[in-house]
């Protein structure tokens, strides 16, 4: 836990609901009275320390016990640096094939679930699930290539087909590269097993806190975001806000992009999510970027 300049960084998910209970007393003991003001937030009306309020609707809500003044502080919770038994749960940032954001993001979520499961058993999951294998099965199942469907509802149909394959047949690993074979010569999963998912949950009409709750439990989620010219120009520290009037279109169909949520938070009064993109590590902040919570849609959870 770290608080600085009105930001609160939470590193332990168990602390999110009761963090900073009696925060001012703890601060007095930790810092002493001389620099107490530097580490506390005070009521602008009473000039008394604010205490965290037990509120299941708003994270990090602080209030004044004297006058009732309330303020929600900025914070975030992230899976980016999360480790279980010293093992990272997130795979490396991917560079997708042209137009393949949906299968890439779905397999990324599957990998995160597998890495988490293995890490809990103090084992590492070294595999990268094969997008090529998923697309090959897609063509066999649908009788046409993944990119050959140009209808306006293509994204939904593609996602449905991909998840059906992941449920029924599973996807193998990409272990043809020399780097993997040299690093893990004794791997038992080298192209010999198809990894399936057990369940697909379409999370409809959920609030920011509902979606945040899944991330808090260690689940990465697949979401869609609309694409504007600003998207390609995002830099570290930017928050992507999609102006619906500026959404790109091809053949009168709006362009949407499929990404993976790995963080939620509040910054300067705005709820947001951080997503793991599939445009390589040079995109925005080492492959990650923030998007305003109001601009996401179509959240999906995969269970193994």
pLDDT tens profile 50-63: 888 877 667 788 88
Residues 204 and 96 in one domain: yes
CATH number at residue 161: 3.90.70.10
Residues 257 and 128 in one domain: yes
The last residue of one of the domains, among 50, 78, 106, is 78
pLDDT at 214: 93
Residues 177 and 216 in one domain: yes
Residue 256 pLDDT > 90: no
pLDDT at 60: 80
Against a cut of 0.75, is the pTM above it? yes
For the chain, the average pLDDT equals: 80
Residues 55 and 140 in one domain: no
Q: Would strands 288-292 and 270-276 be described as parallel, antiparallel, or unpaired?
A: antiparallel
The last residue of one of the domains, among 78, 101, 116, is 78
Among residues 225, 215, 241, which one has the least CA distance to residue 279? 225
Into how many domains does the chain fold? 2
User: What mean pLDDT is predicted for residues 269-298?
Assistant: 93
Asked if 100 and 131 count as a contact pair (C-beta separation under 8 A), the reply is yes
Residues 273 and 229 in one domain: yes
Q: What is the pLDDT of residues 204-230, one digit of tens each?
A: 888 898 999 999 999 999 999 998 888
SS3 of residue 51 by DSSP: strand
| pLDDT-above-90 percentage for the chain | 45
The CB density around residue 6, as the number of other CB atoms within 10 Å, is: 12
The last residue of one of the domains, among 56, 78, 100, is 78
Burial (CB count within 10 angstroms: exposed 0-12, middle 13-18, buried 19+), residue 166? buried
Residue 4 pLDDT > 80: no
Q: Pick the residue with more confidence: 244 or 156?
A: 156
Residues 215 and 200 in one domain: yes
Residue 10 lies in domain: 2-78
pLDDT at 242: 85
Residue 258 pLDDT > 50: yes
Residue 287 pLDDT > 50: yes
Q: What is the pLDDT of residues 176-198, one digit of tens each?
A: 544 445 544 554 444 568 999 99
Residues 52 and 169 in one domain: no
pLDDT at 302: 94
Residues 13 and 135 in one domain: no
Asked if 112 and 90 count as a contact pair (C-beta separation under 8 A), the reply is yes
Residues 251 and 192 in one domain: yes
Residue 252: C-alpha distances to residues 100, 152, 225, 226, 249 (Å): 20, 8, 17, 14, 6
Residues 113 and 41 in one domain: no
Residues 87 and 48 in one domain: no
Residues 127 and 194 in one domain: yes
Per-residue pLDDT band for 146 (boundaries 50, 70, 90) equals confident
């Amino acid at each position: 836990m770290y608080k600085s300049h009105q930001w609160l960084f939470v590193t332990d998910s168990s602390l999110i609901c009761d963090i900073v209970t009696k925060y001012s007393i703890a601060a007095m003991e930790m810092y002493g009275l001389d620099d107490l003001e530097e580490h506390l937030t005070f009521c602008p009306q009473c000039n008394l320390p604010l205490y965290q309020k037990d509120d299941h609707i708003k994270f990090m809500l602080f209030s004044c016990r004297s006058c009732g003044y309330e303020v929600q502080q900025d914070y975030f919770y992230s899976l980016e640096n999360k480790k279980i038994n010293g093992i990272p749960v997130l795979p490396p940032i991917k560079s997708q094939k042209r137009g393949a954001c949906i299968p890439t993001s779905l397999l990324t979520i599957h990998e995160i679930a597998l890495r988490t499961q293995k890490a809990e058993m103090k084992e590492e999951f070294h595999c990268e699930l094969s997008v090529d294998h998923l697309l090959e099965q897609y063509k066999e199942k649908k009788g046409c290539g993944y990119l050959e469907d140009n209808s306006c509802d293509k994204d939904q149909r593609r996602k449905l087909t991909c998840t059906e394959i992941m449920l029924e047949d599973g996807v193998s690993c990409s272990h043809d590269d020399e780097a993997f074979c040299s690093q893990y010569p004794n791997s038992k999963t080298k192209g010999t097993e198809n990894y399936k998912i057990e369940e697909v949950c379409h999370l409809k009409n959920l609030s920011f806190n509902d979606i945040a709750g899944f991330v808090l439990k260690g689940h990465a989620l697949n979401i869609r975001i609309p694409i504007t010219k600003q998207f390609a120009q995002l830099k570290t520290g930017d928050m992507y806000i999609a102006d619906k009037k500026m959404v790109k279109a091809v053949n009168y169909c709006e362009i949407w992009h499929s990404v993976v949520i790995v963080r939620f938070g509040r910054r300067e009064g705005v709820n947001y999510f951080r997503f793991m993109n599939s445009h390589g590590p040079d995109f925005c902040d080492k492959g990650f970027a923030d998007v305003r919570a109001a601009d996401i849609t179509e959240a999906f959870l995969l269970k193994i």
